[in-house]
Chains A and B, each alone.
Chain A
Amino acid sequence: MSELIMSTGNKAVAAAVKMAKPLVVAAYPITPQTEIIESIADYVEAGDLKARYIPVESEHSAMTACIGASITGVRVFTATSSHGLLYMHEMLHWAAGARLPIVMGQVNRTLAPGWNIWAEHTDALSQRDTGWLQVYVSTVQEAYDATLMAFRIAEDNRVLLPVMINMDGFLLSHIMQPFEMTEPGDFIPPLDLPHKIDVNDPKGYGAMSPANVHYQFRFDMEKSMRASRTVINETEAEFAKRFGRSYAPVEEYFCDDADVIIVAMGTLGKEAEVAADLLRKEGIKAGVMRIRWLRPFPLDMNIKGKDLVVIDRDCSFGFGGVVAGEIQARYPDAKIASVIAGLGGQEVTYEDMAEFVRSRKMGTEFWFGIPQEEQ
């Protein structure tokens, strides 16, 4: 039976990995690595996880080792954070293009300069177009649950794309919360990689693909991304049925009758629920949409006629908030007030978020903490 334990987000992800039983874990064990890998190394050392743990000399090599292991058809996991993720960039494209269901724990932290180790989403958002599925979690329990589900979603033969579980640096990775360490049982079926290496039938992998073929492989990735929406829904429904905790690609909080909805990812999206409660006490019909899956991007958000206050813990310089921009692109009629807040771990309280709603100016971008005359 499952038990309720106190844990950081890092240790919860590691505990889920132990349950999912990958055969190979390759990671760069030094800064900006987290306790995820440290805990997994402990499991392997103690014999609690029968995996080959490969410490490598860089994150680029970590992802490369994961690719090499994954193409043999075994379950593979790695974890990184901020600059480590950026160093993997080239190989992130390769992992997705090679259609390998690698699962990665990713702690969202700020990029230098100046040096800053607090939460920000720019690291993961700058890997947005690599072909990885991206889920953003908001609690330690969700970090655990999403990690279990990530293996099942990535390895589903309708998907066969890698999955990145994003968790806010420090706010989740290092903060303790109680969570239920559910035994997954046979929730994650055995992996059956259709294009795995067969040493008795040697082939070259990642061969040349000329111009009249290449786009077909890329379209297949896009098709699988589209199909992953169904797989995510099925997996989350099955998870809820078995373990009693339900998730949706976009978590809604009092949205049905809302006039204004706060949209955010990660811990901000959870904290925003308190802001909505506060606003409702003042007579403002507020709700929250917490985008969990950014890739595949949600196409069925019920936002018609509602004011959206989109909080981005990121900025695409010369463009604006990435999440706000993506919503506007996919929902051209959306009425958005964009807020850039929480960069570099800038504190954003539920009081602050309530104020974003009260003082919203639709169609504008607002940088939290910057004086009005400089906006």
Chain B
Amino acid sequence: MSRMPKMTISVPHEGGAGLTGSWRTFRPVVDRETCNHCGICAMFCPDAVIDPDTLEIDLVYCKGCGICSNECPKKCIKMVREEH
């Protein structure tokens, strides 16, 4: 106990909150034909699950919040209901 820090401190690491992809109700589906690789989706993603280079979405952690879809200037990210 004496080694405890003075307050609660968390260190960011991948999947710190578990496999949050299971929270998803809607899945982002990208129309790659229309996408012009502006990268705004990756910039806005609150969970950093969109690769800034390839713009691939990591569905293991994507919670399906839809912010990328909302922000996309080309409107090429559709939110599609998950079939559970």
Contacts and interface: CB of A to CB of B under 8 A. Distances in A.
B1 A204 contact: no
Interface stretch (A30-38, A170-178, A205-213, A316-324): A205-213
B45 to A, nearest CB: 18
Contact of B7 (A202, A205, A208): A205
Interface in A156-173: 160
Contacts of A213: 8
A213 B5 CA distance: 12
Interface in B1-55: 1, 4-12
Contacts of A204: 9-12
Contact of A217 (B8, B10, B11, B12): B8
A90 interface: no
Contact of A207 (B4, B6, B9): B9
A160 B7 CA distance: 11
Interface in A207-226: 207-209, 213, 216-217, 220
A202 B11 CA distance: 7
B24 to A, nearest CB: 22
Interface in A174-202: 194-195, 202
A213 B4 CA distance: 10
B4 A208 contact: no
Q: Interface residue tally of chain A, by bracket?
A: 10 to 19
Main secondary structure of the interface of B (DSSP, over half): loop
Nearest to B6: A99
Contacts of A194: 5-6
Nearest to B5: A195
Contacts of B9: 195, 203-205, 207
Contacts of B4: 216-217, 220
A205 B5 CA distance: 11
A155 to B, nearest CB: 13
The CB with the most chain B CB atoms within 10 A, among A97, A160, A207, A213, is that of: A207
Interface string A88-100: 0000000001110
A195 B10 contact: no
A207 B12 contact: no
Contacts of A205: 7-9
A98 B5 CA distance: 10
B6 A203 contact: no
A333 B1 CA distance: 36
B17 to A, nearest CB: 10
Contacts of A208: 8, 10
Given A202-B12, A204-B12, A98 B7 contact: yes
B6 A206 contact: no
Nearest to A208: B8
Contacts of B5: 194-195
Interface in A232-284: none
Contact of B1 (A97, A206, A207, A216): A216
Contacts of A97: 7
Interface in A312-353: none
A202 B10 CA distance: 9
A160 B5 CA distance: 12
A195 B10 CA distance: 12
25 contacts: A97-B7, A98-B7, A99-B6, A160-B6, A194-B6, A195-B5, A195-B6, A195-B7, A202-B12, A203-B10, A203-B11, A203-B12, A204-B10, A204-B12, A205-B7, A205-B8, A205-B9, A206-B7, A207-B9, A213-B8, A216-B1, A216-B4, A217-B4, A220-B4, A220-B6
Given A99-B7, A205-B9, A217-B4, 9 more contacts: A98-B7, A194-B5, A203-B11, A203-B12, A204-B11, A204-B12, A207-B10, A208-B10, A216-B4
Interface of A: 97-99, 160, 194-195, 202-209, 213, 216-217, 220
The 3 closest A-B pairs by CB, nearest first: A207-B10, A204-B10, A99-B6
